[in-house]
C-alpha cells in the first residue's frame, strides 16, 4: 500500500475504522468474535479499525451484515 497518499484519504480511512470499531463495540463483539462471525482475519480487522488498510468491498459487505447496517453507514 503506497504511503504517499493524500492526507484526506488517510483521514477517511481513520473515519471508517472508527465507525467500524464503535459499531463493533456497541454490538458487544470482541475483535476475535467479530473475526469469527465475519470470516475476516482478526489482524485484517485490526488494520481496518486502525485506518491502516483499505478494506475490500467484500469485507465491507461482511462487516455491514454482521453489524446489521448498510455499507453506506460505514463509508459515509
The pLDDT tens digits for 8-31 are 999 999 999 999 999 999 999 999
Task: Report residue 76's pLDDT band, with 50, 70 and 90 as the boundaries.
Answer: confident
* Fold (CATH) for 7-75: 434 Repressor (Amino-terminal Domain) (1.10.260)
pLDDT of 1 higher than 70: no
Interatomic CA distance for residues 53 and 1, integer angstroms: 8
Domain residue extents for the chain? 7-75
Interatomic CA distance for residues 37 and 75, integer angstroms: 21
Question: What does the pLDDT look like over 36-71, one tens digit per residue?
Answer: 999 999 999 999 999 999 999 999 999 999 999 999
pLDDT number for residue 42? 97
Amino acid at each position: 500500500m503506497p504511503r504517499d497518499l493524500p492526507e484526506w484519504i488517510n483521514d477517511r480511512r481513520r473515519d471508517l475504522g472508527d465507525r467500524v470499531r464503535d459499531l463493533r463495540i456497541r454490538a458487544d463483539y470482541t475483535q476475535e468474535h467479530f473475526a469469527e462471525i465475519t470470516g475476516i482475519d482478526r489482524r485484517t480487522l485490526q488494520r481496518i479499525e486502525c485506518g491502516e488498510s483499505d478494506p475490500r468491498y467484500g469485507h465491507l459487505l461482511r462487516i455491514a451484515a454482521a453489524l446489521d447496517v448498510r455499507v453506506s453507514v460505514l463509508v459515509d
